[in-house]
Amino acid sequence: MTELLPYLAECLRAANLQPQEVAGTYNVVLGRGPMARKANIDPGPLFREIKDAPEARLKALISGFVSGVEYALLEPKRSQAANWSFVESASGLMPTLQPPTFVQGVEAVTGERAWVQTISEEIVCAYVVKLNPGLRPITEPQVERWGASADRIAAGARSLLFHRTRELQTRQFEDFLHVRRLHAGDGHDAARALVYADVFYSEVGEGLRFAMPSPDHLLVVPEATEGNLQQLRDAVDQVYESDATPLTRAIFAFKRSRPVVVEARHG
């Protein structure tokens, strides 16, 4: 565990969380002045969770934990969103795709596990309520209080994301001639895979392949030729290795409009 602490601290600093180590835990602060959010986080549960993980996945798993911490601290001090009903929350409900350790990050701050749905072995879909300002990650106790079904929650979040996606267009990604990127820069770009087949239904054929190498990247090739797939793999590797918050190297296709892994590419 001790050898991972410095890397965790590095990730916390990259997220502007100003970590201070205290006996194997970290005091973290988001923001300044009277509105700053503070917490003491214990990375022990995270390190136990990832103790057998391949070394190539550690960056993604630790960054997922840090994202959970950051998202939990983004809820303003005087927020009442924890007490809102599902109907009150639905107008701001959005999905975000994260490594599974996002759950432990939220729990480290709030004491409650984030409520998530599994997308693949390496990705979960978490949900947040957009506030003004800030946001609140949805937790398991909150969903239990809502009494809403998982399908209803997912549908509500997809509805808002659909409306925030339908005016977007894909553009060529950097120097990769056949790779397109759908990008809004709002932190929900990977999650747009959940609505892509609905928004761009006329462009989605059986040969379309896509990838989500970070929460801020949705990369697409329209046809699964070997040349296109190699460009997609190369683009994914570039993002995954350089991004501060890597997600997965996997290549996906749509099955009944839902993302499914067709090339795992672990590591």
Convert the pLDDT of each residue in 181-191 to its tens digit: 999 999 999 99
Residue 207: predicted pLDDT: 94
Residue 241: predicted pLDDT: 95
Residue 105: predicted pLDDT: 97
Residue 192: predicted pLDDT: 98
Residue 165: predicted pLDDT: 97
Q: How distant, in Å, are the alpha carbons of 20, 135, 219, 243 from that of 214?
A: 27, 20, 10, 7
Residue 71: predicted pLDDT: 97
Q: How distant, in Å, are the alpha carbons of 8, 237, 256, 267 from that of 48?
A: 14, 27, 36, 19
Q: How distant, in Å, are the alpha carbons of 91, 190, 191, 239 from that of 124?
A: 22, 11, 10, 19
Give the Cα-Cα-Cα angle 73, 212, 174 (nearest 5 degrees): 110
Are 49 and 19 contacting, i.e. CB atoms less than 8 angstroms apart?
A: no
Task: Report, as ranges of residue numbers, the positions in the chain whose pLDDT lies below 70.
Answer: 1-2, 267
Placement of tokens 């709002």 in the chain: 186
Are 42 and 108 contacting, i.e. CB atoms less than 8 angstroms apart?
A: yes
| Non-local CB neighbours of 182 within 8 Å, separated by 6+ positions | 165, 168, 169, 170, 189, 192, 196, 218, 220
Task: Name which of 104, 109, 11 is nearest 63 in CA terms.
Answer: 11
Which ranges constitute the DSSP H helices of 24-129?
44-49, 58-73, 86-90, 102-110
Residue 106 token pair: 């939220």
Residue 212: predicted pLDDT: 98
Instruction: Count CB neighbours of 216 within 10 A.
Output: 20
Residue 34: predicted pLDDT: 81
The sign one gets for the Cα dihedral 121, 178, 223, 230 is negative
